[in-house]
Amino acid sequence: MKNRVVSSVCFVLLGVNLLSCGGRQKSAAGDGVQVQDSVIAQAMEKDIVSLAPLETGEVFLKDQDPFGEVVELKGQQIVEPDTFIFKTSEDRMLLCSDSILVQKNYRAPYFVFHYPAMTYIKTVGVKGNGPDEFLIPEVVPSVDKEALCCLYERSNGRIYRLDKELNQTYLYTLFPTEKWGVNDLQEIGKNEFVYQSGRYIRTIKVEGDSLKEEKRYPLTLRFARKSPVLGSLAANPQRNRMVYAYKYFKIVKFMNMKGDSVRTLNFQQKGFDDETLNIADGLDANVTHYMQVSPTRDYVYISYSGRTPYAVGSDNDKGNRYMYVEQYDWNGNPVRKYKLDNFSISMMVDGRLNRLMLITYYNDDPYFIYQLKD
């Protein structure tokens, strides 16, 4: 992919003004579409509707269409008005406040942007394997209202707090021994985190100088005990819910935070080929189903491929770029299914503005936004 080059440098004074700076964005066609940061303030906050009890059990949806008509959306490309240049590198976005977005990038390790204009503010952290440097960075949602998010280094298990002045502070080492297998880490309470590792959803809590770990839910499927349980995890402690979407099975599980009340949606069409586990790069011969869970306060959005990586690459090369996003409420009820005119493994959904953003790897300006249905 080419470097992304845009037009003027944006140096921003940090501090009390950090969360109030404005910006604008344009569509790729240059048709004058502009979105001011002040739009955020105009988005009315809805009252939280209490969830009904979770209906547990397995729901079989093979060959059914619980979403109804698929909604097709065309994205608008964001062309930034500054000279910030970067290459995408397994990026992940986290909307940390109404106006600040933190994006992890293996080359960065973290970019900070004004949202929704996506104007560049600062690069946080130092790339490297030295003390307090990041080799394999992850951005982690936080429950601390005084912080934007947590920063996690997978190679050594160290976690940091990123405050609203964009200062990085070391907190503790969460995983002194088990480091590489920690996925989708998210803070769910004071010094308490949920994550996926091995064949379980697990939690870990810092209590003084000790770490308390707990297995919350086993992810092995009873009909596929040898198959990998790779997928995407997201939690919503406010609604007492977690969701796990499997990568190699068209299966989604909704559960409470304890993991003892579970609803399984089984759309399964074709099983995983266990023989591919014995072949170099054999996993890519299997269909990738779910890619990423993006939670909001009221809904869950899950990106869906439905193709092998080889098929996706071939389609992208031909200009036939697309993906699906499934929308659910937190009780696992299907709401809507979208078809987008781009493909990405990295998306972010803003529940306040009801819009979705992708990072594409095949465009100089990689950000595309989609306005979702109310």
Range of the domain at 178: 18-37+54-274+281-371
Residue 49 lies in a domain: no
Which residues, other chains included, contact 228 with Cβ-Cβ below 8 Å and sequence gap of 6+? Answer: 247, 248, 272, 277, 283
pLDDT on residue 176: 86
For 220, counting Cβ atoms within 10 Å of its Cβ (0-12 exposed, 13-18 middle, 19+ buried), the class is middle
Q: Which two tokens stand for residue 329?
A: 């409420």
User: What is the CATH classification number for the domain harbouring 24?
Assistant: 2.120.10.30
Task: Give 80's strand partners.
Answer: none
Residue 213 lies in a domain: yes
Residue 207 lies in a domain: yes
Closest by alpha carbon to 179, among 204, 162, 197? Answer: 197
pLDDT on residue 75: 98
Residue 233 lies in a domain: yes
Give CA–CA dist 278/305, Å, rounded.
24
pLDDT on residue 46: 56
Q: Supply the pTM of this predicted model.
A: 0.86
Q: Which amino acid is at 252?
A: V
Is-contact 154 175, C-beta < 8 A? Answer: no
Residue 327 lies in a domain: yes
Please count the other Cβ atoms lying within 10 Å of the Cβ belonging to residue 15: 10
**Counted domains in the chain:** 1
Give CA–CA dist 127/71, Å, rounded.
41
Q: Is the Cα dihedral 2, 107, 116, 305 positive or negative? A: positive
Residue 313 lies in a domain: yes
pLDDT on residue 281: 82
Residue 46 lies in a domain: no
Residue 30 lies in a domain: yes
pLDDT digit of tens for each residue in the chain (374 aa)?
Answer: 334 433 333 333 333 333 333 333 333 333 333 334 334 334 444 567 789 999 999 999 988 889 999 999 999 999 866 667 888 888 999 999 999 999 999 999 999 999 999 999 999 999 999 989 999 999 999 999 999 999 999 999 999 999 999 999 999 999 988 767 899 999 999 999 999 999 999 999 999 999 999 999 999 998 887 889 999 999 999 999 999 999 999 999 999 999 999 999 999 867 788 888 888 888 889 999 999 999 999 999 999 999 999 999 999 999 999 999 999 999 999 999 999 999 999 999 999 999 999 999 988 889 999 999 98
